[in-house]
Amino acid sequence: MDAFTIGAEKISSRLWLGSSLYPSPKVMGDAIQAASPGFVTVSLRRQSAMQLRQQVSEHGHWHILLQAVATSGSRLLPNTAGCHSAAEAVNLAQLARELFATRWIKLEVIGDDYTLQPHPLQLVEAARELIAQDFIVLPYCTDDLVLCSTLLELGCPAVMPWGAPIGTGRGLMNIYQLKTLRQRLADATLIIDAGIGKPSQAMAAMELGYDAVLLNTAVARAHDPVSMASAFRQAVDAGHMAYQAGLMVEREQAVASTPDIGKPFWQQAEVRL
């Protein structure tokens, strides 16, 4: 039920998970196993050779991450977190492709350090260049309709608008705009990325018709990350199933669900009103 495609590639799950902020590499690995996410994101940072050797050692962060990704059936999705210019993002994407042997990249170009809002102009510039270099680009962006449309027109197979600023846990702050995106970009693949804090918020995103949800902090900073990962997996599944089943139309007035057969005709009329 969870599988879907981006471009011609099959993605195993509609829940995607980040790999940072966990209390330990083991908890991270266990949470990935519990979530069985379609993608697991990983950030590259400027590090010394000694730090890199420690991370890829038998007990290092990357070793456990790659092992968890392989056994859970997930895909690795490197990202360009921390970049503030198109040139910086392109360079980091090239490094990620060489290190992880993947064309997939989650493109982030931050324009404001306080809100971590993506820089729309630098984002478009970086996406254009990476697509020309044969990357599969999944851009993290705001919920701006024109920006999302532009990124899709450039050749991004999906766009990833935020629900709220990264790490805030505030959920879907602009329901109207997110509904508009889903309606106007009816054939596009849309993934909510950032700001999700509760399983109910992930379910709400799926009930709007979004194709997937990416989150990190809500699981990594939970008291029990492994149980929370499982809760999010179930919430995403339930939200997607509800959208596929067809949600009822909201009404302004109460409408009785009991039958009116056998009631006097004037009461039947009242019920229908």
Q: Residue 78 is part of a domain; what is its CATH number? A: 3.20.20.70
Query: Would you say residue 177 has pLDDT above 50?
Result: yes
- Percent share of the chain, pLDDT over 70: 86
The H-assigned helical ranges of 12-77 are 25-35, 49-55, 61-72
- Domain assignment of residue 272, yes or no: no
Coil/strand/helix, residue 8: coil
Q: Which amino acid is at 51?
A: Q
Instruction: Output the pLDDT for position 193.
Output: 95
**CB-based contact 185:143 (threshold 8 Å):** no
Instruction: Output the pLDDT for position 127.
Output: 98
Is residue 82 part of an annotated ligand binding site? no
Angle at 192 between CA 188 and CA 196, to 5 degrees: 170
Polymer length of the chain: 273
Is residue 29 part of an annotated ligand binding site? no
Query: Would you say residue 56 has pLDDT above 80?
Result: no
Residue the block writes with tokens 């083991």? 26
* Range of the structural domain that residue 13 is part of: 4-267
Is residue 216 part of an annotated ligand binding site? yes
Coil/strand/helix, residue 128: helix
Q: How far apart are the first and last CA of the chain?
A: 40
Average pLDDT over residues 253-265: 68
pTM: 0.86
- Domain assignment of residue 129, yes or no: yes
Q: Judge residue 163's burial from the number of C-beta atoms within 10 Å of its C-beta, 0-12 exposed, 13-18 middle, 19 or more buried.
A: buried
Instruction: Output the pLDDT for position 262.
Output: 63
- In angstroms, the CA 175 to CA 209 distance is 12
Instruction: Output the pLDDT for position 270.
Output: 53
- Domain assignment of residue 156, yes or no: yes
Instruction: Output the pLDDT for position 47.
Output: 47
- Whether 106 is a known active-site residue: answer yes
**CB-based contact 220:21 (threshold 8 Å):** yes
- Domain assignment of residue 24, yes or no: yes
- In angstroms, the CA 125 to CA 127 distance is 6
Instruction: Output the pLDDT for position 99.
Output: 85
| pLDDT band at residue 48 using 50, 70 and 90 as cut-offs | very low
Q: Judge residue 249's burial from the number of C-beta atoms within 10 Å of its C-beta, 0-12 exposed, 13-18 middle, 19 or more buried.
A: exposed
- Percent share of the chain, pLDDT over 90: 67
Is residue 169 part of an annotated ligand binding site? no
Q: At what angle do helices 25-35 and 61-72 cross, to 10 degrees?
A: 10
**If you average pLDDT over every residue of the chain, what do you get?**
88
- Domain assignment of residue 273, yes or no: no
Q: How many domains does the chain have?
A: 1
Is residue 217 part of an annotated ligand binding site? yes
Output phi, psi for 34, to 5 deg. Answer: -70, -35
The residue among 271 and 219 whose pLDDT is bigger is 219
Sign for the CA dihedral angle at 84, 202, 72, 8 comes to negative
Instruction: Output the pLDDT for position 94.
Output: 93
- Domain assignment of residue 226, yes or no: yes
- Domain assignment of residue 91, yes or no: yes
Rg (alpha carbons) of the chain, rounded to whole number: 21
Output phi, psi for 87, to 5 deg. Answer: -60, -40
Query: Would you say residue 61 has pLDDT above 70?
Result: no
Instruction: Output the pLDDT for position 170.
Output: 94
The residue among 111 and 57 whose pLDDT is bigger is 111
Cα–Cα separations (whole angstroms), residue 222 to 34, 120, 207, 238: 14, 32, 24, 21
